[in-house]
Amino acid sequence: MEAGGLEWLLVPMQQLVSWGAAGAMVFGGVVPYIPQYRDIRRTQNAEGFSTYVCLVLLVANILRILFWFGRHFESPLLWQSIIMIITMLLMLKLCTEVRVSNELNIKRRSFADFDLSYFWHWSKFTDYVQCVLTFTGVTGYITYLWLDSSLFVETLGFLAVFTEAMLGVPQLYRNYQNRSTEGMSVKMVLMWTSGDTFKTVYFILNQAPFQFSICGLLQVFVDIAILLQVYLYSYYPQKPVSHTAHPASTKAL
């Protein structure tokens, strides 16, 4: 009777824990961007945040969704990708509006110009949407043609998670260029680190495709490197390196 009573109690508890973990996977990835979004909105300055972070996450999550069509994985991971794409588009919209409002007498650039020196430095949010839709259409069509190839599907899965693992690299490089982490939300990076650690453990325990676990570990290492930059540039301030003027360098990464 006692064992039966414990089982009656443990089953719903395990279910609740499972639901909680799934919910954390779906929405936990977007939480780190809330403080950064609020900081940009409050200061009307997006210089400290690299919008290439948005590019990396958009590419990674679009590829992950396409990977799902070739090899089904857990639904929370699929929903996480959908929520993340929406979040990154909102971040891009805010950053673009703030950047353009702070620019004076700057020639407007668009996706239709096909000028690589201004790639991802366009003047309107709709240009970013056009780029994302174009990428989705092209990769979606290629995936449709090669969906029966297991090699292609596994490669697609690896590219998806490897791209996401590189998430922090644009921010890492931007901090290195500036010799400072000013304008970057430390809360965001701390949440990255805790979220990526949780996510990697979740992948391992739920036996997700091996690509997920390997790249999750890589992501944690990049997060730690950025936190080391925060410590280094806070306690040992350095002069920024001077760069030769370049059309793309005048824009926010």
pLDDT value, residue 130 = 96
E strand or H helix that includes residue 214: helix 210-235
pTM above 0.85, yes or no: no
Q: Is 139 left (phi over 0), alpha (psi -120 to 50) or beta?
A: alpha
Average predicted confidence (pLDDT) for the chain: 82
In angstroms, the CA 183 to CA 46 distance is: 8
pLDDT value, residue 206 = 76
For residue 98, which of 41, 53, 38 has the smallest C-alpha distance? Answer: 41
In angstroms, the CA 37 to CA 88 distance is: 10
What is the per-residue pLDDT across 184-207, written as a single tens digit (0 to 9) for each?
Answer: 888 888 888 888 888 888 788 877
Place of tokens 């290195």: 176
Q: Report residue 42 as tokens.
A: 């409050």
Question: Does residue 46 have a pLDDT over 90?
Answer: no
In angstroms, the CA 130 to CA 51 distance is: 16
Domain boundaries, the chain: 3-235
pLDDT value, residue 23 = 78
**For residue 75, how far is the Cα from the chain centroid?**
19
